[in-house]
A and B are shown apart, each in its own frame.
Chain A
Amino acid sequence: MKTLLLALLLSATTAFAADVPLSVLRDKEVVSTFATIPVQEAGRLKPLDTLARYRLLRFAGKRTIGFQNPDTNKKEYLSAMEWLLVTWFRPELSQTMPLFVVDNSAAITEIGVSTEGKGKRDRYSYNEILPARQTLMSKMREYQEIDSKKRTAVQSMIANLGVNFLDYEMLITHFDFVRKISEDMKSMPPEIVKAMEGKPSRMTELLPAVMAHVKAHPEAAAPMQNPWMMNVMRAALGAMMSGNQELSMRLFPPPAKDIEPWHGPGWIIMGAVQGKEPTAADLNWLKQYEELYLALPDAAKFKASVTSLANNIRAAAAERGEAKYVNLEESYLRADYFYYALCLFFLGLILLSITWASPAAGWASMLRGGAWVSLSIATVLCTLGIVIRCIIMQRPPITTLYETIIFITATAAIFGLIAEALTRKHYGLLIAAVAGTAGMFLSIRFETMEGQDTMQQLQAVLITNFWLATHVPLINLGYSAAMVSAIISMTYFIKRLFGSIQGGDDSARSLTRMAYGFVGAGLFLSLVGTILGGIWANYSWGRFWGWDPKENGALMIVLMCLIILHARLGGYIREIGLHACNIVTGMITVFSWFGVNQLGVGLHAYGFTDGVWFWLSMFWALQCVFLLIAAWLKLRERRAPGAVAA
């Protein structure tokens, strides 16, 4: 009888899990309700959508995933939230989706998976990699032993793939504590099975029986000796969604207000098997979560369960005075300000480029007007995105390397638009368009490379809104002004190269004055920002200056600006010299902005990202081309008969 019941339950669970229609999981209301559920991850309350987006971004390197819909037999795309729901509730389908991005197929070949029909950079499904799981795990462990800076690119890829593969396995087993409970119960000790007689096979019912058994037989708690305990713990880990404690999903607000960490289904199960009795509130949450799964495949019942769970979590969070900005964050994610800003900056750049064909024509004037509008809206979107992030995090705009990119982009675009308003020479528009397009592209690329939430909790020493609102923005405004001056100088050299301006003519002088102005602004902002940083350090750590790499980077920008100003006043550099020096300023700024973070030493050693040196080298190589152009122009002017040195 007992065996029969178990078999029935097992077949029932297996049947409905596979039968969940995709339409239920992709229902707009369902997706939207799930997306706004507050969860605690990495010490921060955020919408579930944020978690889903960054998991998908980390695995796939993009924000949507394409798959062959078995219902329609067409290729369709899932949003991150839809993908997470399919992974939870239709794992067998999710496992066939091309999820894991691998930049070099050599990594795949090394673990013994066929790359036939795949490109050098391609995506692989879980099922494609699964046969090589053992090799992948062993190589992952081997390469993790190597210092990350000394790993080859392929070794890093295999190490990352292994981590992502394991994390994904936790996603597909997230609901195993409901889905597989009946199957797991088959291997459990008879006392537990007996205690469950007449009760539904639910984890909420099973936990007390498991706890009683472990209390009577402490040796049962050792998973390696007890396969059934191993299954329970595996289910608990899946419910946690990550082996990393910080990245586990915490879904349930505890009733006691003085307990800050939220609880999660995995934590409740794991805690119980380790002897920590779950509270009635915890079991109630776990029951609601079980009912969510058990409601499937009935669409109406599922929708009602999701809504009820989401409302209960929100109400409990509100009672604790938490999760106030979760809805705002969800709308921020949906609005995708920076993506649309990129599109508009690029549109502005295209419109401006077209005007170069005939700058004096009437239609060119109209296009420039269009560029003004497009760039202004893009700048507003970018600024709005930053402001909303400040509201969500309740702190000033810059705390991570990613945030420096969006801030510097927005301010460079603002600088460009201000310069345009003051000079009306169209160069300001060009600055805004180039800085905006490059900066927004960089921000999106950087976010993809990092693959983690860009709104991070801060280390203790950084939690001071006064200094974050003064020193940090000023330094970054200094970077911004220095980059703007470098962009102006790049424009100068390109125009000189194509002969659209001549040394010393009105346009060239106008560009030079503008570049000089931004050098001055860069000096002021960098100098005051750097000294304020020193004062912060003095008031917080007792030392004004410590020759830390980031401090040195800022100092180098100040020094380069001072070199330009003094060399100019002393008559050592004129037009070409000033622009060449500005190019060097740009190179130094990029070193200070990104390079020093890659050194991995000092107090500011944050934001280490693989592959940054390569892109920095590319940028510096490009800038060296401009310096060669400068040398060539200078040489040509010297050789020109009767020429005045520029």
Chain B
Amino acid sequence: MSDSTSKSIPARIYAFLCSYGLATVLLILLLIITLLGTLEQVEHGLFNSQAKYFDSMIIWSIDVGACLRAMSIPAKEFELPVILPGGYLVMAIFGLNLLLGGLLRIRKNPRTIGVVIAHFSMLFMLIAGAVSFSFKKEGNLALIEGQTGDEFQSFHNRVVEIEQVDPPPADGKRKALVIHDDAFEDLVPDSSGGKARTFTHPSLPFELVLKNYQPNCEPKRAEGSENQEAVDGYYLQAKPLNPTSEQNIDGIYAVVKEKNGAEQKGILWGFASAMNTAPLPWTVKVDGKTYAIDLGRQRWSLPFSVRLDKFDRELHPGTERARKFTSHITKINGTHEEKKIITMNEPLRDSGYVLFQASFSMDQSGGSAVKQSVFAVAQNPSDHWPLWSCVAAAIGLLIHFISMLGRFMKRSSSASATAA
């Protein structure tokens, strides 16, 4: 073994990045992060735990009380401040360690071929995860029987959309300017009176100021309240965050500043757009044109339309337990129509998009049952990569462990022969 002190600094860094020690530490960190992220889900919900532990660069605190209570151990509120690398950072360094140590530096001979294949497959899996994390679109599309849709809504991504509704676009196609949540979700009210950000676009005859974003809130009458932000007698009252992120209803104050200095104030509240209730979205009239400004989930277009022809739910006999959900749909591409069936474990794959049977609802309306089918929709460039990775990992590990077993058996038999 060479003396480490004689190595150059880059060589030492390389050796460190390749080392078993680094791999072991990273795996231990990942194990701890996974355990904590699992336990915190009970009180903080999947979305928040995922953001805190698995999608993060740094973890700043551990809710020890919540972790203990998750395991039915009585505990008071106790948030432990820490500085731990987050899951994203750990996995990124682990990917590098895998590349350098597990693929480049490893001795390549017949005995290590299985390990090399397994390392390659794991690296490929991490890359698949990174591609999915960065580029995957996922959301849902809810249709009632007879309804056609060609857009799906994100599960979590929030956006403010500005759309000219009057006069409508000449081509009849919906066009909207979109402000993504990373541009306004930090505008939470604070002791200084709140935060605001101004958004402009060459096509707009006004500036839009967004301020005081509330991740979970509801509009309240401002009577008797000293709230300075009240609009038309209403203000947004903050509510505690729900662990299930989809159940939070966000809101934000908006101000449209026209070029002549006139201002129009409004409140954008997520529930209104979700429920499609009048008179929302908030509309403003500027320079004779009407614009709808809405806070809601991000929407993406599908390259085809889907019409729900019929929805069936089969139950296990004499129970309310579902045995099968089936949606009979028509895929419409221009003038071409195609009948398809989407059911549990049998999604529709087309043009890079996959539509899965996710859930359903049934309402009695006017004496007849109105059936709604909800499809989860995903577009993932690395859709099939995990499968290829799994096959490679299985082959690699099988080669390695079978050859290990063979060597073990050979040693055992030669030891027995020696003893005899």
Interface residues of A (CB under 8 A from B): 40-44, 149, 245-246, 248, 250, 260-262, 422-423, 457, 459-461, 463-464, 467, 513, 517, 520-521, 523-524, 527-528, 531-532, 534-535, 538-549, 552-553, 555-556, 559-560, 562-563, 566-567, 569-572, 588, 595-596, 598-602, 613
Contacts and interface: CB of A to CB of B under 8 A. Distances in A.
B46 interface: yes
Given A422-B412, A552-B34, A459 B319 contact: no
B408 A513 contact: yes
A42 B319 contact: yes
A542 B138 contact: yes
B46 A602 contact: yes
B324 interface: yes
Given A461-B345, A463-B323, A556-B31, A545 B405 contact: no
Interface in B20-57: 20-21, 23-24, 27-28, 30-31, 34-35, 37-39, 41-42, 46, 49-50, 54
B397 A528 contact: yes
10 contacts: A245-B319, A248-B318, A457-B319, A460-B314, A460-B324, A464-B344, A520-B404, A528-B394, A563-B31, A566-B20
A559 B347 contact: no
A555 B34 contact: yes
Interface in B195-222: none
A562 B101 CA distance: 15
A460 B322 contact: yes
Contacts of A602: 41, 46
A566 B356 CA distance: 39
A538 B412 contact: no
Interface in B155-172: none
A35 to B, nearest CB: 21
B72 A43 contact: no
Contact of A262 (B50, B317, B398): B317
B19 interface: yes
Nearest to B132: A544
Given A245-B319, A613-B72, A535 B386 contact: yes
A566 B24 contact: yes
A613 B73 CA distance: 9
B271 interface: no
Contacts of B314: 460
A596 B378 CA distance: 27
A469 to B, nearest CB: 13
Contacts of A566: 20, 23-24, 27
A639 to B, nearest CB: 26
A539 B378 CA distance: 11
Interface of B: 19-21, 23-24, 27-28, 30-31, 34-35, 37-39, 41-42, 46, 49-50, 54, 70-72, 125, 128-129, 132, 138, 314-325, 344-345, 347, 354, 356, 358, 376-378, 380, 383, 386-387, 389-390, 393-394, 397-398, 400-401, 404-405, 408-409, 412
A572 B21 contact: yes
A596 B41 CA distance: 11
B344 A246 contact: no
Contacts of B24: 563, 566-567, 570, 572
B347 A539 contact: yes
Given A531-B125, A542-B354, A542-B376, A599 B317 contact: no
A547 B54 contact: yes
A613 B74 CA distance: 12
A460 B397 contact: no
A457 B20 contact: no
B246 to A, nearest CB: 14
- Nearest 8 pairs between A and B by C-beta? A570-B20, A43-B316, A542-B378, A260-B317, A531-B390, A261-B318, A43-B319, A261-B317
B325 A599 contact: no
A599 B347 contact: no
Contacts of A457: 316, 319, 321, 323
B141 to A, nearest CB: 12
Contacts of A461: 344-345
Nearest to A506: B415
B41 A517 contact: no
A523 B115 CA distance: 13
A543 B138 contact: yes
- The interface residues of chain B, by DSSP majority, are classed as helix
Contact of B323 (A460, A528, A534, A588): A460
Contacts of A541: 356, 358, 376
Nearest to A542: B378
Contact of A527 (B38, B397, B405): B397
Contacts of B49: 547
B345 A464 contact: yes
A599 B24 CA distance: 28
A249 to B, nearest CB: 10
Given A246-B318, A560-B31, A570-B19, A599 B354 contact: no
Contact of B30 (A521, A531, A559, A569): A559
Contacts of B71: 595, 598, 613
A600 B70 CA distance: 9
Contact of A563 (B27, B138, B386): B27
Given A40-B317, A563-B31, A570-B21, A535 B387 contact: yes
Given A460-B322, A556-B34, A560-B31, 6 more contacts: A42-B316, A245-B319, A541-B376, A547-B54, A567-B24, A602-B41
A599 B401 contact: no
Contact of B316 (A44, A556, A599, A613): A44
Nearest to A41: B318
B382 to A, nearest CB: 8
A262 B316 CA distance: 11
A601 B42 contact: yes
B20 A569 contact: yes
Contacts of B316: 42-44, 457
- Which of B20, B129, B314, B318 neighbours the largest number of chain A CB atoms within 10 Å of its CB? B318
Contact of B347 (A250, A540, A572): A540
B73 to A, nearest CB: 8
Contact of B397 (A43, A245, A523): A523
A541 B324 CA distance: 15
Contact of A534 (B27, B70, B386, B404): B386
Nearest to B70: A599
Contacts of B31: 556, 559-560, 563, 588
A44 B318 CA distance: 9
B356 to A, nearest CB: 5
B401 A545 contact: no
Contact of A542 (B35, B319, B321, B356): B356
Between A43, A423, A464, A572, the greatest number of chain B beta carbons within 10 A of the residue's beta carbon is seen for: A43
A532 B41 CA distance: 24
Nearest to A563: B27
Contacts of A521: 401
B42 A599 contact: yes
Contacts of B358: 541
B123 to A, nearest CB: 14
Contact of B46 (A535, A547, A560): A547
Given A521-B401, A595-B71, A601-B41, A546 B46 contact: yes
Contacts of A542: 138, 347, 354, 356, 376-378, 380
A246 B20 contact: no
B278 to A, nearest CB: 33
B322 A538 contact: no
Most buried by A among B28, B72, B405: B72
Given A527-B393, A563-B27, A547 B50 contact: yes
A468 to B, nearest CB: 11
Contacts of B409: 422
Given A517-B405, A539-B345, A245 B20 contact: no
Contact of A531 (B46, B383, B389, B408): B389
Which of A524, A539, A566, A600 gathers the greatest number of chain B CB atoms within 10 Å? A566
A332 B31 CA distance: 42
B34 A600 contact: no
